[in-house]
Chain A
């Protein structure tokens, strides 16, 4: 049996391109990539090719060609708190992704438990009241490759995240135009991507009605002042500030108001975390209640000093980096230069919005020898990054305090 769908342009394109695909993976043991990066992941494999072959994308870390999974090279986060569109990470579940979108004929449908089903053109959507917000878009499995013991999945380093200023319309305004009827409980979102195989679960996600109408969840038609790259969801993408990227449905073209909880695969069986603090459990632990992944948790990173770096001893060292609070703002960023024995407050940069990256700076004078730098974010709810890494079998929601070993000489 071969149940693959052959009518989609992507497959036609793939067959036509054939041997013209990008060069990669010549041998497992000895990759011969023109340029590569070491992430580095415990136990490996941790070399990844760098690629500039994807449309409207600059240099990215190649995790998977099809369906595309592209990671932001970490040095990009040192350049500013807004991640450039051409280096914003990319992650798709199914390979049937339209390779063309007609802006005139595209429609966003709103249906289900509504008084007035809608079929909105892009021009109509752009006439609705404009809403703008800075927000971090982070893959549920960002940093999965650092889990120990290792777990299967997309083996990301720390670059499956980015911060953009999103422009579009409030989901609430669109739902109000359609008129949500009594008895509605959730809102389900679907995009133009399709499963490769018959009966493969279409990628669809749902939010509780109250969340969908909170006035922050939005439909974006621009990021950082430009139309979204196709690989980031052109022409429309759901933006769910403070929540993991699995809910930020790309190429959004269908909104369905539901009268009962969504039990589709991607809500009921996938993207589940242990219902425990920090989504933490022990390998093999039985009887753990699982719930859909939801709000993000605080994280922080040093962006200008790499692990293993050698710095001048006895000279002032300027540290800088980014932090985000998860589902709320950054209250505090602390830095330790002695492996956590003592901590000092970092100076926070401009607040661009509570859901975005926040720049921070700190300085200290290292003595000769080795040291471990730590950085810890506490959000405005008082939630701080944990000292110990969490573990769960899906590799979700890592947010341990990052350690950066350095040598001063």
Chain B
């Protein structure tokens, strides 16, 4: 019986969530200043990781790379070239191979 009543309460609760604030009572817009957190953790150390740190982390933290699925060397090469050609990462062409090698070793797929 207790469980049944809890269930009912939960179901009823779903429709009873407080509605969002009334627009008529909108507070005035005040100036805002925030601090955005950062993550200065480097790429896992291995040959090529320093080149990856120097070139990738200026625009984005490492999670973006580490959370990618495993990819083939060609897949990683396409990603690195996209960063260079499309998003204009200031990446020396001679460093592309080292970064691709590093990423393929770190998160390669057959």
Q: Which residues of A contact B (CB under 8 A)?
A: 1-4, 10, 13-14, 17-22, 24-28, 41, 43-45, 48, 51, 53-56, 62-69, 78-82, 94-95, 97, 99-104, 122, 126, 130, 132, 150-152, 154-155, 164-165, 167, 195-201, 221-222, 224-227, 230-231, 234-235, 265, 269, 304, 318, 320, 349-350, 359, 361
Q: Report 29 cross-chain contacts, Cβ distance below 8 Å, ordered by A residue.
A: A1-B90, A20-B38, A22-B37, A24-B63, A25-B63, A26-B41, A27-B44, A45-B69, A62-B63, A65-B61, A79-B14, A82-B17, A82-B20, A99-B33, A101-B32, A103-B31, A151-B69, A154-B64, A167-B26, A196-B58, A196-B59, A201-B86, A221-B29, A226-B26, A227-B30, A231-B34, A231-B36, A265-B86, A269-B86
Within 8 Å CB of B62, what residues of A?
25
Within 8 Å CB of A20, what residues of B?
38
The listed residue (A2, A4, A150, A226) touching B69 by CB distance below 8 A is: A150
Are B29's CB and A235's CB within 8 A? yes
Are A349's CB and B15's CB within 8 A? yes
Are B35's CB and A17's CB within 8 A? yes
Within 8 Å CB of A102, what residues of B?
31
The listed residue (B10, B30, B34, B63) touching A65 by CB distance below 8 A is: B63
Are B32's CB and A225's CB within 8 A? no
A349 CB to nearest chain B CB (Å):
6
Q: Which residue of B lies closest to A24 (CB)?
A: B39
The listed residue (B22, B29, B90) touching A4 by CB distance below 8 A is: B90
Are A68's CB and B63's CB within 8 A? no
> Which among A3, A19, A28 has the greatest number of chain B C-beta atoms within 10 A?
A28
The SS class assigned to the B binding surface is loop
Are A152's CB and B11's CB within 8 A? no
**A67 with B60: in contact, given A18-B40, A225-B20 (CB under 8 Å)?**
yes
Is B96 located at the chain interface by the 8 A CB criterion? Answer: no
Within 8 Å CB of B11, what residues of A?
318, 320, 361
**A227 with B41: in contact, given A17-B35, A152-B79 (CB under 8 Å)?**
no
Are B68's CB and A152's CB within 8 A? yes
Within 8 Å CB of A53, what residues of B?
37
Are A43's CB and B69's CB within 8 A? yes
Are B29's CB and A21's CB within 8 A? no
Q: Mark B9-30, 1 if CB is under 8 A from A, else 0.
A: 0110011010111110111111
Report the separation of the CA atoms of residues A348 and B15 in the bound assembly, to the nearest whole angstrom.
11
B61 CB to nearest chain A CB (Å):
4
Q: Which residue of A lies closest to B44 (CB)?
A: A28
